[in-house]
Amino acid sequence: MAVEKITMPQLGESVTEGTISRWIVSVGDKVNKYDPLAEVMTDKVNAEIPSSFTGTIKELVAEDGDTLAVGEIICYIETEGGGEAEATADAPKEESAPAPSAKSEAPTAPAVEDDADAPNKRRYSPAVLRLAQENNVDLEQVKGSGAGGRITRKDIQAVIDSGNIPTADSKPAATQAPAAEAPKAAPAAPAAPSAPAAASAPKAAQPVNVPVEAGDIEIPVTGVRKAIAANMLRSKHEAPHAWTMIEVDATNLVEYRNSLKSEFKKKEGYNLTFFAFFVKAVAQALKEFPQINSMWAGDKIVQKKDINISIAVATDDALYVPVIRNADEKTIKGIAREITDLANKVRAGKLTSAEMQGGTFTVNNTGSFGSVQSQGIINYPQAAILQVESIVKRPVVMDHGMIAVRDMVNLCMSLDHRVLDGLVCGRFLARVKEIIEKMSKENTSIY
C-alpha cells in the first residue's frame, strides 16, 4: 500500500490560499480518481477539490473552516502501491501527533525542545507568516499541530485568541538554543521571502467588542468573505492607489443601442447591454495604450500581450471576476454573449477557476445599481480598474453656448501609481471617451 497526499490547489490567478468550507468525505471512505473531496472557497471562486487517486481516505489534515496556503496538505489517501511511497507519506502523520500535554503548553512551548519530533516545524506557509508577523508572534515558541509539527494558521489564531502571545522578547533564557546548535535554527530566516508581502503587511485590526442587544443579528464571516477582505487589504496596502474620472457624452450610443435592443433580444436570445459597448471600447483603447495592460512584479513591470478583461459579477454575499479573453478580437455581440454566459454561471455557482484566470484589466459595471461616482479597489496584481457608472440625463453646455439634455456617464479609474502615471492614464481615458462618443448606427457594427 502507498499513502499519497492531496494539497490545496491554486484555484485562480493571484490566489494564495483557500478555505475548506465543507468536507465531502470522511476518514475510511473509498474514493475514485476525480471524485470530489471537499468544497473550497477563495476570494475568486467556490470549487470542489477532486481526488488525484483511487483509494481510501486515511487522514483529514484540515478541518471545516481552516484556511490553508496553496500547496499545503489537506488530506492523505491510501492507495495500491509500493512501500516506499507509504513510508514517505506516513511519516508526517505519525509525527504530527502531539504529546498529551502539548495543548496546554502551546502558547509558550519553545521550538528547540521538539525539533527532533517536528521536522516540518519551520516550513511556514505564507498565511502563517503573515498572521504571525501582523500580531508579533514568535513562531519559535509556538507548538505546531500540523503534519510533522508544522505550525498551521489555526495554531497561530489559537495563540492570538488566548491573549498570551509569545514574542521574541518574552522567550525565557532557559529555552534559548546553545551556541553550538545555532546553525540548526538558521533555516527559519529564509522562510520569510516565500511571502514577500508579509514583511510589510498592515497590522491586523484587533477584534472589536461590539455590544449585541436584543433584536441584533450576528452574521458569521464566511470563508469567502474573509478571502475577499484579505485580497482587498493586500491590494490597498501594496498598491498606491490614485484615482481619476472623465465625463463621457453617450447620447449617440444610447440612441443606437435602444434602436437595436428589441430585435437583438428576439434574434439572439440575450440582452444587448450598454456594458458590452463599454467593454469593447476599453479593449480597443488598451490595444492602443498597452502600458495600461500591465502588472507589477516587484523588480519589473510585465506588459501583457493578450487583452483579457475581468468583469465584476456580484452575488448576495460575494464578488467574482470572470474573464473575457482576447476581448479586443471580439465583436460587441460576442462580448455581450460572454457577459451573459459568465454572469449566469456565477449566479448558478457553475463558474470554473479557469474562467477566472488570466485577467489583465478589470471593468466594473457599477452603474448597474445606480452609482454615478465610485473609487474601485484594483484587482491585484493588475495595474488598474475602470468603473462604468450609471448613464443619466444632464443639461450640458454645447457649442455656441446652447444648453441641451444629453445622456452622460462618468468613467472612474483607479490605478497603481507604481506602474502607471497620470499622463498615460489621462490619454487612455480620453481615447475611451472618443470611441464611445463616436459609437452610432453610422460608425459602429455590433457584428
The sheet carrying 73-79 orders its strands as 2-7, 73-79, 55-60, 30-31
CB 53 within 8 A of CB 79: yes
C-alpha span between 322 and 279 (Å, rounded): 13
Closest Cα partner for 175 from 96, 109, 105?
109
**Going by C-beta distance under 8 Å and a sequence separation of 6 or more, which residues neighbour residue 65?**
19, 20, 21, 223
Catalytic residue among 64, 161, 306, 421: 421
Catalytic residue among 64, 161, 237, 417: 417
Residue 421 annotated among the catalytic residues of the structure: yes
Closest Cα partner for 41 from 9, 72, 2?
9
C-alpha span between 325 and 322 (Å, rounded): 10
The phi and psi torsions of 77 (rounded to 5 degrees) equal: -125, 130
DSSP code per residue over 125-172: -HHHHHHHHHTT--GGG----SGGGPPPHHHHHHHHHHT----GGG--
Beta strands 55-60 and 241-249, pairing class: unpaired
Question: With 0-12 CB in 10 A as exposed, 13-18 as middle and 19+ as buried, what is 373?
Answer: exposed
CB 76 within 8 A of CB 2: no
Phi-psi region of 291 (alpha: psi -120 to 50; beta: other; left: phi over 0): alpha
CB 303 within 8 A of CB 291: yes
In the block, cell 482576447 appears at 326
CB atoms within 10 A of CB 300: 8
DSSP code per residue over 292-357: GSEEE-SSSEEE-SS--EEE-EE-SS-EE--EETTGGGS-HHHHHHHHHHHHHHHHHT---GGGGS
C-alpha span between 48 and 108 (Å, rounded): 37
Residue 417 annotated among the catalytic residues of the structure: yes
Here the cell at position 442 is 453610422
- The alpha carbon of residue 412 and the mean position of all alpha carbons in its chain are separated, in whole angstroms, by 22
H-run or E-run covering 233: helix 223-238
H-run or E-run covering 408: strand 403-416
Here the cell at position 322 is 470572470
What residues are annotated to the active site? 417, 421
